[in-house]
Amino acid sequence: MSFKFRNAALAACSLVAFSLPAHAQNKGFLETLHRHTTLASTSPGNGDLNPYAVVVVPQDMGVLKKDEVLVTNFNNISNLQGTGTTIVAYSPVTGNARLFANLPRNLAACPGGVGLTTALAILKSGWIIVGSAPSKDGTTTTKGDGCLIVLDANGKYTTTWKGPLINAPWGDIASVDKGDNATLFISMTGFDLPGPNVVDPQTHYPPILHKATVLRLELSIPEGGPPQLESQTVIASGFSARADRDNFLFGPTGLALDDDGTLYVTDGYDNEVTAIDDALTRTDPVTRKDDAVGRIITKGGLLNWPLAMIWVPGHHLLVANGRNGQVVEIDPATKKQIYAQWVDADQAQQPPGNGDLFGLAMTPDRKSFYYVEDDMNTLNVSQP
């Protein structure tokens, strides 16, 4: 998602919010929220832009304090996608954001270098896992395979995980963390993607590849030592992926694991949310069938290129739209879209807020949620 500039008068529009009920008789979490507030800039001293991941720190660890918020940056100061190297930490106590980690741009252990994505997780043991989908020129023309990077709780680089199953780790990390072991789910979106100048002669757009996957990683975490990658299993394959000049790539982004082991996935290009059954135990991948990977939970409607996805009260899912400034609430049990709300109604983009949203995270009290506005490089909160 590329960074866009706008003036201060237009910035005020982002604080204007209104709602579009999909089913007026249904009540949901979004209907309790009425204020949308900018908290802090996410651009650190080196000028990195384009905030992606949003994750809340679960407990004090290293230099991090409980309830602080980590945000990754995908672009560098020149606004080239796949070149951001920084993670900032926002303190709800001081109201300020500071630099937490700054990785070497040309990290040799990561194929292609560093471009930090929405793949970010904080383990109970104090280790941070972050994905890299790097580029040299800001497009997939020069995209490297990337890697998963392990940092300690002081933001120091420890190691990388790479290999044939890891290619442009992209979306939310869903996890089960037991302290001495953990299971992670991460979407991989970069397999065989060409540059955005390569077009299908019939559509005149970059070709759609059905090669994106969801990878399950099993970790062991020795006491006092960094996590060890024990196994990798592709649990779903065949999601749509496509290169894009403005947005780097389209691919599955939001991952949310249910208590029964069902993994929900947002497929942005196909504009749907699907479910992968038995995600914690399955040994064979769900593959593409009838133009979907897994069971379709909801498609179209209020969805408009669904990206990040989180659980909210009522056991509903909240999804950020990439092509407008709305978030959409979904009841996975009934497969209904409950409600949509503008959290960024900036009319500098058409439709309003187009290209501005990406990462989401619940506040610790579960009454509000954090989100980023890519165009303004800010962390925001939506509150009652």
In tens, the pLDDT along 95-127 reads 999 999 999 999 999 999 999 999 999 999 999
- Cα separation, 173 vs 133, whole angstroms: 14
CB-count burial class (<10 Å; 0-12, 13-18, 19+) for 132: buried
Kindly tell me if the per-residue pLDDT of 16 is higher than 50: no
Average pLDDT over residues 313-325: 97
Kindly tell me if the per-residue pLDDT of 21 is higher than 90: no
Token code pair at residue 198: 């390569």
| pLDDT, tens digit (0-9, with 9 covering 90-100), for 28-57 | 999 999 999 999 999 999 999 999 999 999
> Which pairing describes strands 128-132 and 116-122: parallel, antiparallel, or unpaired?
antiparallel
Instruction: State the DSSP H helix or E strand holding residue 341, giving kind and residue range, or none if neither.
Output: strand 336-342
Instruction: State the DSSP H helix or E strand holding residue 244, giving kind and residue range, or none if neither.
Output: strand 228-244
Domain membership of residue 372 (yes or no) is: no
Neighbouring-strand partners of residue 181: 220
Kindly tell me if the per-residue pLDDT of 335 is higher than 60: yes
Q: What is the structure's pLDDT at 18?
A: 39
Can you say how many angstroms the Cα of residue 278 is from the centroid of all Cα atoms in its chain? 22
Total structural domains in the chain? 1
| pLDDT, tens digit (0-9, with 9 covering 90-100), for 352-380 | 999 999 999 999 999 999 999 999 999 99
pTM: 0.93
Q: What is the structure's pLDDT at 27?
A: 77
Residues with Cβ within 8 Å of 17's Cβ and at least 6 positions away in sequence, in order, are: 34, 36, 341, 342, 343, 345, 382
By C-alpha distance, which of 369, 307, 267 is closest to 74?
307
CB-count burial class (<10 Å; 0-12, 13-18, 19+) for 283: exposed
By C-alpha distance, which of 94, 117, 109 is closest to 372?
117
What's the farthest any 2 CA atoms get from each other in the chain? 56
Question: 């940056």: which residue's tokens?
Answer: 73
- Cα separation, 340 vs 331, whole angstroms: 12
Count the neighbouring beta carbons within 10 Å of the beta carbon of residue 10: 15
Domain membership of residue 171 (yes or no) is: yes
Domain membership of residue 349 (yes or no) is: no
CB-count burial class (<10 Å; 0-12, 13-18, 19+) for 110: buried
- Cα separation, 363 vs 209, whole angstroms: 36
Rg over alpha carbons for the chain, rounded to the nearest Å, is 19
Domain membership of residue 20 (yes or no) is: no
Domain membership of residue 11 (yes or no) is: no
- Cα separation, 285 vs 138, whole angstroms: 32
Domain extent for 58? 46-318
- Cα separation, 329 vs 338, whole angstroms: 5
Mean pLDDT of the chain: 93
SS3 (DSSP) at 365: coil
- Cα separation, 183 vs 171, whole angstroms: 16
Domain membership of residue 1 (yes or no) is: no
Count the neighbouring beta carbons within 10 Å of the beta carbon of residue 313: 12
Domain membership of residue 221 (yes or no) is: yes
Exposure on the CB side of residue 47, measured as CA atoms within 13 A: 5
Average pLDDT over residues 168-179: 97
Domain CATH for 310: 2.120.10
- Cα separation, 236 vs 244, whole angstroms: 23
How would residue 17 be classed by pLDDT, with cut points 50, 70 and 90?
Answer: very low
Token code pair at residue 100: 């937490």
| pLDDT, tens digit (0-9, with 9 covering 90-100), for 184-226 | 999 999 999 999 999 999 999 999 999 999 999 999 999 989 9
- Cα separation, 6 vs 3, whole angstroms: 10
Q: What is the structure's pLDDT at 350?
A: 87
For residues 277 and 284, the answer to whether their CB atoms sit within 8 Å is no
Q: What is the structure's pLDDT at 112?
A: 98
By C-alpha distance, which of 330, 288, 335 is closest to 309?
330
Domain membership of residue 284 (yes or no) is: yes
